[in-house]
Structure 1
Amino acid sequence: MTDTATSSGRLVSVTLDEASIAKISREVDHERQVAIFDLLEQNSFAPVGADGGEFSLRLSMVSNRLVLQIFRADGVPVTTHILSLTPFRRIIRDYYLVCDSYYEAIKVSTPNQIEAIDMGRRGLHDEGAEILRDKLAGKIAIDKLTARRLFTLIAGLHWKG
């Protein structure tokens, strides 16, 4: 998989199952909204076996598993993938610990301290995105930016507060 968009497929809609969303902080909700906006602005998303085009994605949690339901833009079902969250547990926990530190640091820390925490946050974010790309290999081709934004949404679904 490449780090840039090269597929002929793209997401035009992303929805999160309302029943899967835990009560989250204002900051986490903002990150989720920005991730969806950015994801729809620029992404590379090609389900294996589908001949490119525009897709809609619905993310949900069922029995502690991530469910990715993929549809054509016109609503025709394409496929559903169910992923175990076990490979993501540590990275999501660490990611939110660092995010909490970051949000607190913004209030009282120096710019250098905030930047150091943010670098750690970005590193964990990249690690989560790579895990996602690995788990989707052979199922959905996505680029690095798409994986990062999807990881943000997955972390938001998984977050229990």
Structure 2
Amino acid sequence: MYLERIEIDEGGLPEPSPEMEQERRVAVFDLQESNHFAVKDHVQGPYSLRLGMDHGRAAFFWRAADGTEGDFRISLGSLAHTAKDYRTLCEAYVDAVRTLPPARIEEIDTARREIHQEAARQLQLRMADRAEVDEPTARRLFTLLCAMTQDT
């Protein structure tokens, strides 16, 4: 099972800067290139997904190949702190590449990857009773959620 089409529901999202808009496009492209997504209750894919935000929760609106539709929402409460830390490390990494020695850059990148992996695990657990996603898909979804919710 997989997502064949992914779109962002822009309603209620902050107006993205050109950089954030590009990050959103890249995240959607990466997800469409490779993903594993299966809605629970044996609804057969592939699926189209519209991802949005609803009062601080990620809203997943899906449509299966057979026309079955549904939606679910997941709280981003504890993920919000992780997302903030992840964004901070991403910014530190960009700054480090310009000014710091390779060993320090690697330390920052390692911390960034570790927090990204932890966020993916948290997201997988939050989605577990509604949809099955593998770790790479969870990482890409987390990246997309970060790009959708970052203030400009």
Specify if TM > 0.5. Answer: yes
- Structure-1 residue corresponding to 2:116: 125
**TM-score (normalizing by structure 2):** 0.89
1:139 to 107, 130, 133: 130
Within 1, Cα distance between the matches of 2:36 and 2:46?
Answer: 10
What residue ranges of structure 2 are gaps of 5+ in the alignment?
A: none
Within 2, Cα distance between the matches of 1:98 and 1:29?
Answer: 20
After superposing on structure 2, the runs of 4+ consecutive aligned residues of structure 1 that deviate more than 3 Å are 23-31
- Structure-1 residue corresponding to 2:58: 66
- Structure-1 residue corresponding to 2:44: 52
Which AA in structure 1 matches 2:38? A
Whether the 8 Å contact between 1:32 and 1:156 is mirrored in structure 2 is yes
Within 2, Cα distance between the matches of 1:64 and 1:51?
Answer: 27
* CA shift for structure 1 position 106: 2.0
1:78/1:69 Cα in 2 relative to 1: closer, same or farther (>3 Å)? same
* CA shift for structure 1 position 26: 4.9
* CA shift for structure 1 position 107: 2.0
Within 1, Cα distance between the matches of 2:12 and 2:116?
Answer: 21
- Structure-1 residue corresponding to 2:11: 19
1:28/1:98 Cα in 2 relative to 1: closer, same or farther (>3 Å)? farther
Within 2, Cα distance between the matches of 1:158 and 1:12?
Answer: 23
Which AA in structure 2 matches 1:12? E
Within 2, Cα distance between the matches of 1:66 and 1:115?
Answer: 32
CA root-mean-square deviation = 1.9
- Structure-1 residue corresponding to 2:90: 99
Whether the 8 Å contact between 2:62 and 2:71 is mirrored in structure 1 is yes
Q: How many residues align?
A: 152
* CA shift for structure 1 position 143: 0.4
1:152 aligns with 2:143: yes
Within 2, Cα distance between the matches of 1:80 and 1:10?
Answer: 16
Identity of aligned residues (%): 35
Within 2, Cα distance between the matches of 1:144 and 1:36?
Answer: 16
- Structure-2 residue corresponding to 1:86: 77
- Structure-2 residue corresponding to 1:112: 103
Which AA in structure 2 matches 1:109? L
Give the stretch that moved more between structures: 15-24 or 117-126. Answer: 15-24
**TM-score (normalizing by structure 1):** 0.84
Whether the 8 Å contact between 1:69 and 1:81 is mirrored in structure 2 is yes
* CA shift for structure 1 position 60: 0.8
